[in-house]
Structure 1
Amino acid sequence: MADDAQAHAPGAPHRCAAPRNAQLRTPQPLPGLELLWSGSVPDHAEEAAAQRHLLDASESARLAALRWPQDRDAYAVAHVTLRRLLAEWLGQAPETVPLLREPCSHCGGPHGRPYVPDSGVHFSLSHTRGMVLIALASRPVGVDVETLLGTPAVDELTSQLHPDEAAELAVVPYEARPRAFARCWTRKEAVLKALGVGLNLEPALTYVGTGAQPAWQQAWLLADVATEPGYAAAVAVRRPDRDPGDHRPLRSLS
């Protein structure tokens, strides 16, 4: 992936020149998706460590509570970069961007979609060891990036998929299952994060498919995102013709 580039919807303002980032591409433009940022954690860890003062008290406490250095680095890169991107977009200092959470749309708890009050910008971030993915959008959005697992681990986790997805995965050649599973899981998490529920909603209830193309969704535009070898990523954005309260997945268990 190329450095110093951004992917944004046609006609969207090219506002975010920093921090250094990587070019990301989806198979087709997604209306409402303004920016996708991806970065390697080792490439950005030193810079993020020097800018941890930009984090608020809650973020700093969560960072300090992480046990492993790799997890602390990934968290710092993700949250420092998110603040810098939002600051560029909103025209204010990174440390002054107020990050709050909506009530969960599934249970009403205080762990729904993060948001910036009165800003009009929607965002989502995901990080795994080694990689960070961030999206800014004009409507609800979710992203997910995951490290590819080994086939034995995939076989253990297949029960968490929708029954139709599990059936699809069962006929995928053994060596190709990690990629197919990762495609499915990142699509699933992207939709659930865009919904504002995350894994508080049973993952098996939502069907997104394991094949080369995501399953069509009634309320969401869903696409895979090209990323570094060894990872899979996806993004979901609410359809422009859908009411904000219409978050139904394509298929669910009866």
Structure 2
Amino acid sequence: MDTAALRPGHAAVVPWPKTLSAPADGALDLWLLHVPDPWLAGAVLDTSPLDERERTRAASFVHAVDRAKYVASHLMLRRLLGAYLDRPAGEVAFVREPCPCCGAPHGRPALAGDGPHFSLSHGGNLVLVGVAAAPVGVDTEQLPAAHTVGQVATALHPDEQREVMSAPAVRRAAVFTRLWVRKEAYLKGLGTGLGRSPALDYLGNGGPGTPAWPAGWTIVDVPVGAGHAAAAVRGPIGSRYDVARLDPQELAA
């Protein structure tokens, strides 16, 4: 992986797009949505674009805020992909690719028919969508409590574990979360998810004696502000990537 040549686009709030050009080879479009709990608690969201599976999943959430967060993230994904495909959000159809680990149809989500590759993540109060001409993975997470860091860090590559545990206590959660979102984004890009052990690949900060990052992938540490971390990975990326923030108010019914 190589991050040296990447220049992030300005993460300004932009209008929700009605039409979008397909990402060019080497380009990466990143879309951010901030959905604070007070807004989610009072939001009335139009679920009509969602398909039956999405509505069933939304209804399964016990807490209203969690349900609204799921609905908001999937409405965001559908509206963006609809803009790329030039079709209504409700007409965007999804399939599952074969799992690289076992071949079963529970691998990376994909569009039915032609269209760009995409990845969706929601963590804490952020939703992140990545769209590219080649397979892409994104992940965003809220910084966890200290005891969670100690428990989950043991799943990382041994050199990543050392980086986390050698960090000052006050920074340990931030270091862990930065490495974790890179790892989850990479596994999504592969299409395996956590079906592939997070301990197998090194995506740490480098240094003497550390392994190389996986060949053929590029990592992007996405700027999302305090309290969260986010990352995106895909194949070779050109000289820039774009990050755009969307206004959640436009999701309201």
TM-score range normalised by the length of the shorter chain: 0.7 to 0.9
What does the per-residue CA deviation read over 1:117-141, in whole Å, with 9 as the maximum and x for residues that have no partner?
3323000000023110001110000
Cα separation, partners in 2 of 1:70 and 1:32, compared to 1, 3 Å: farther
Ranges in structure 1 where 5+ consecutive residues have no aligned partner: 7-12, 18-29, 241-254
Shift of 1:157: 1.5
Structure with more relative contact order (C-alpha pairs < 8 Å, separation 6 or more):
2
Structure 1 residues 222 and 120: alpha-carbon distance in aligned structure 2, compared to 1, 3 A threshold? same
Give 1:223 shift.
Answer: 1.3
Identity in percent: 40
**2:78 paired residue number:** 83
Question: How far does residue 51 in structure 1 lie from its aligned partner after superposition?
Answer: 2.1
What secondary structure, in the 3-state scheme, does the structure 1 residue paired with 2:113 have? coil
Residue identity in the other structure for 2:163: E
Query: Do the aligned residues in 2 keep the contact of 1:74 with 1:129 (CA within 8 Å)?
Result: no
Question: Which one of 6, 9, 12 corresponds to residue 2 of structure 1?
Answer: 12
Distance in 2 between residues matched to 1:180 and 1:50, nearest whole Å: 35
Does 1:224 find its partner at 2:224? no
Change over 3 Å in CA distance of 1:177–1:46 after alignment to 2: closer
Give the alignment partner of residue 29 of structure 2, picking from 31, 35, 54.
35
Q: Which residue of 2 aligns with 1:140?
A: 135
Describe the shift of the 1:73–1:124 C-alpha distance in structure 2 as closer, same or farther (beyond 3 A): same
Structure 2 partner of 1:172 = 167
1:96–1:46 distance in 2 versus 1, CA, 3 Å: farther
1:139 is paired with a residue of what secondary structure?
A: coil
Asked if the contact 1:44/1:77 (under 8 Å) is kept, the reply is no
| 2:91 alignment partner, one of 59, 79, 96 | 96
| Distance change >3 Å, CA 75–CA 230, structure 1 → 2 | same
Q: Residues of 2 paired with 1:174 and 1:131: CA distance?
A: 25
Report the equivalent of 1:233.
230
Distance 1:176 1:129 in 2: 19
Between the aligned partners of 1:31 and 1:48, the Cα distance in structure 2 is 37
* 2:190 matched residue in structure 1: 195
For 1:120, the aligned partner's letter is G
The number of residues matched between the two structures is 221
Q: CA deviation at 1:193?
A: 0.3
Unmatched runs of 5 consecutive residues or more in structure 2: 1-10, 238-253
Structure 1 length as normaliser, TM-score?
0.79
In the TM superposition, residue 33 of structure 1 has moved relative to its aligned partner by 3.6
Tell me the equivalent position of 2:58.
63
